[in-house]
Amino acid sequence: MAMELAGTGLKIVALERGEQRDTYPDFAYPRIIDELTYGIRLKLFQNASKETVTVRHSGNESALPYRRFGSFLPGDGVGGAGVHWNGMLWRPLEADLKMRSTVIERYGADFIPQDMTVQDYPFTSAEMEPFFDKFEKICGTAGHAGNLNGEKIAGGNPFEAPRQNHYPTKPLKQQYSGMLFEKAAKELGYHPFPLPAALCSEPYTNPYGVQLGVCNYCGFCERFGCFNYAKASPQSCVLPALYQYKNFELRTQSQVLRVNTDSTGAQATGVTYIDANGQEVEQPASLVVLSAFQLHNVRLLLLSNIGKPYDPATGEGVVGRNYAYQMNGGVSLFFDPDTNFNPFAATGATGTFIDDFNAENFDHSGLGFVGGATISATITGGRPVQQMSISNKAPKWGTGWKKAIKESYLHTMSIGSSGSVMPYKQCYLDLDPTYKDHHGQPLLRMTFDWQRNELKMTNFIAGKAEGIAKAIGPKHYEMGFKGMNAHYDVRPYQSTHTTGGAVMGDNPKTSVVNKYLQSWDVPNVFVLGACCFPQNLSYNPTGIVGGTTLFAAHAILTQYLANPGPLVQA
């Protein structure tokens, strides 16, 4: 957003609560490939001792502070979660954007459970296409088009919405696991394609004039910064150009406490933040953009009294509504010693996928659930601490554990699923009445658990993934999908794809921001990110976050600056 607006000459101040970070020296090799520091001790992530969330499964439970992040990992410092991500860069399917109306059209309104608050996005795929295209070009995205202006392209995703252009760079090299998956998927009548990756596969200069490096398959993507300037982090593809603007200022160690408004509450006057010296500072502003992580944007809105907080008892209010996470599962495949996968030669987004059971790409009649999942073979690395895949039957320590690692390290692959999660009346975010952060402000409280719709979905997907595993033919395999009685567990990492709480829409009664991500209540406040998603797609959120940000920036440049005020009438 700052880069898009910098050319106007506006004075732009970016407030980052964490430390300054850049590719050099912070991500320099070999410093950055320290798995203990970055993978286990979570150096790039939020400090849970200072600020965290409280968690509970239902509204009749007491929420407790989440003291060691595991399930999801909010970033901290310049670049945020854009530093440590894997680089999977998706566009939404057309049905993803019109999920509610599509389901009603195909199966009737009664197909949607009464407690499910699924809703459509306030724009179409065609309307967003130029902005998805631009974001892919900023990132130097590697991939293979499947639908070019309505023409299906062999080898790409046949289910994707029409695109104007090919991906900026060619697909990443395929791993052996992906080759086996592709062969088995085709034999079963599915449509495999390479994962779109924000990991540059060839020399490339993006629209901001920044030259990106070429990925060298080092196996250190998630939880790590990219030392090769190849992964599309802010440091590699935006900040070098943004720093050239004299009207842009970045202040680090500056944590925003709240957005300030005038006496009417309908106009923002700036923000209050704590600076590096611990002093409270008021920063005036005529335009305020919230671009923190999903959870933090929702908390800032609640702390600032912008928008009516959601009340699950009455269903009224909007801020905190429609929180959702992501439903994952997998199959571990074990092979004989003569089958080698070399997992260390990997990227965070080297994979082969199928979309045959995603969203509305298949008939849900009689299945009893809304949504779906991708199924893929993706190896993101072979790191020595967290990426030792051994059998569930193997010892957990000692000589037997070491023997199991030796027998499985080179000879194991996995099939994973990434599933959508719908929103529900009983899954929401609000301010905790008991616990506070180190500045004395209420923590954000998360009320969330798996619902039957998603558990039915993942059990259906488990059968499809197992079918592919059998077709591949390993020595043996082990299933890792949730059963119908599963509850959300905050301990194991699952994904950092938390969504909702400040959703976009056409109706102020069911959304916090309009299609341009502009607050309905305070029109000089814009809210970016996955907090604006009405529900969680099976895809990783970054592509939509980037595309909708560019869409909002375009609206500010072409409409708002000339005539400040609501861009959409309620």
The active-site residue out of 84, 296, 364, 497 is 497
State the CB neighbour count (10 A cutoff) for residue 210.
19
Contact 414, 178 (CB under 8 A): no
Long-range contact pairs involving 361-369 (C-beta distance under 8 Å, separation at least 24) = 361/93, 361/95, 361/159, 364/103, 364/106, 364/107, 364/111, 365/107, 367/456, 367/460, 368/456, 369/453, 369/454, 369/456, 369/457, 369/460
Structure tokens at 323: 């929180």
User: d(Cα 122, Cα 124) in Å, to the nearest integer?
Assistant: 7
The residue written with tokens 């957990």 in the block is 396
State the CB neighbour count (10 A cutoff) for residue 435.
16
C-alpha torsion angle, residues 464, 470, 472, 475 (rounded to 10):
140
Helix (H) or strand (E) segment spanning residue 288: strand 288-290
Q: ∠ CA(288), CA(292), CA(298), 5° rounding?
A: 85
Structure tokens at 361: 């790409």
Please return the burial class of 508, using the count of CB atoms within 10 Å of its CB with bins 0-12, 13-18 and 19+: middle
Helix 452-472 / helix 176-187 crossing angle, nearest 10 deg:
100
Structure tokens at 376: 């893929």
User: d(Cα 120, Cα 26) in Å, to the nearest integer?
Assistant: 41
Helix (H) or strand (E) segment spanning residue 435: strand 428-436
Secondary structure tally for the chain: helices H, strands E: 14, 21
Sign of the torsion formed by the C-alpha atoms of 389, 392, 398 and 402: negative
Structure tokens at 387: 């990426």
Structure tokens at 263: 């006496």
The residue written with tokens 């928008």 in the block is 307
Strands 525-527 and 288-290: parallel
Q: What share of the chain is helix, strand, coil (3-state, %, to 5)?
A: 25, 20, 55
DSSP state of 125: H
User: d(Cα 74, Cα 56) in Å, to the nearest integer?
Assistant: 18
The torsion region of residue 416 among left (phi > 0), alpha (psi -120 to 50) and beta comes to beta
Q: What are phi and psi of 54, to 5 degrees?
A: -100, 150
Beta bridge partners of 378: 351
DSSP state of 559: I
554 carries an active-site annotation: no
User: d(Cα 332, Cα 274) in Å, to the nearest integer?
Assistant: 47
Q: Mind telling me the catalytic residues?
A: 497
